[in-house]
Amino acid sequence: MRFLNTTLRHIRRSPYQAFAAILIMTVTFVAISLFTFLILGSSRVISYFESKPQVTAFFKDTAKQENIRALEDQLRASGKVSKMHFVSKNEALKIYRQQNKNDPLLLDLVTADILPASLEISTYKIEDLASVYSMIKQSSFVQEVIFQKDVVSSLTSWTNSLRKIGIALVVVLSIVSVFIMITIIGIRISQKKDEIEIVRLLGASGWYIRWPFIFEGILYGVIGAFFAWIISSAILLYETPFLESFLKGIPILPVSYIFLLEVLGAELVLAILLGVFASFIAVLRYLK
């Protein structure tokens, strides 16, 4: 408590330095939060696509039940298919109605006749998709084949790039924050040189002198991370309606408050580590 009081007195007496330290920590943690949301969100989108049928064959209206069954048998015999699901014209209409239940105009215009029956197929291995795709393509009863591999792989490559950019940006910002904090705490130590000398002569131990500066680093980190969490959570919650319509059908939004609290917890731990690291370096460097 005594150390915390000393820390608060330091901050009160030079508020602009404290403001600069908190600001840089806030910027760093806003970047960390937003990239965390983006990376976790895109991973969930990929998982969603991966869990969906990877190849969908849409049949011509002329295709009969036995033709479809023959194709199913042929695919099953290949040993590559893990799951198959036949969607009839009526089921397709149900799905269509469910997806467009808020748009009566679209519902009025569509009947089961104009929707094709389809077969949704998943393979054990992603590399078998190509051979399954060509097997289906050869069938004369198939109108069109949708192949999800491209969607998943391009999403995966986007996410990987995003992750790399995010990690690089966060690392650079963290390094900058640490250097700024070292400088600010170093300035504080220099300003308090006489006071430090006096308390030393009065019998203060090394840790009695160091703790307030280490608390200061922790405090900057924690306050910065907390502000950043408020800002980034507010952005996410504000943009949720837009993102929900953009990611139509992919159930990742709205995010739960528990998830946001988990992010806050992780960020506070990281902030404390960064704060302790920066202030410890400053104390080692300037308090010999």
N-to-C CA span, the chain: 25
In whole angstroms, the minimum distance from the beta carbon of 203 to another protein comes to 4
* Nearest-5° Cα angle at 143, 142 to 146: 90
Starting from the edge strand earliest in sequence, which strands make up the sheet with 55-59, in order? 81-87, 118-123, 55-59, 142-147
In whole angstroms, the minimum distance from the beta carbon of 284 to another protein comes to 15
- Alpha-carbon distances, residue 173 vs 72, 129, 170, 177 (angstroms): 55, 42, 5, 6
* Residue 68 near residue 269 (C-beta atoms within 8 A): no
| C-beta closer to another protein: residue 3 or 49 | 3
* Residue 204 near residue 274 (C-beta atoms within 8 A): no
In whole angstroms, the minimum distance from the beta carbon of 281 to another protein comes to 21
In whole angstroms, the minimum distance from the beta carbon of 267 to another protein comes to 34
In whole angstroms, the minimum distance from the beta carbon of 217 to another protein comes to 21
| C-beta closer to another protein: residue 207 or 246 | 207
Transcribe 235-275 into DSSP letters: HHHHHHHHHHHHTTT-TT-SPPHHHHHHHHHHHHHHHHHHH
| C-beta closer to another protein: residue 7 or 33 | 7
Dist CA 29 CA 221 (whole Å): 9
- Chain contacts with another protein (rule: CB under 8 A): 2, 13, 195, 197-199, 201-206, 208
| C-beta closer to another protein: residue 216 or 267 | 216
| C-beta closer to another protein: residue 131 or 205 | 205
Position 123: which residue type? T
Dist CA 131 CA 216 (whole Å): 62
| C-beta closer to another protein: residue 96 or 208 | 208
Dist CA 93 CA 56 (whole Å): 16
In whole angstroms, the minimum distance from the beta carbon of 17 to another protein comes to 17
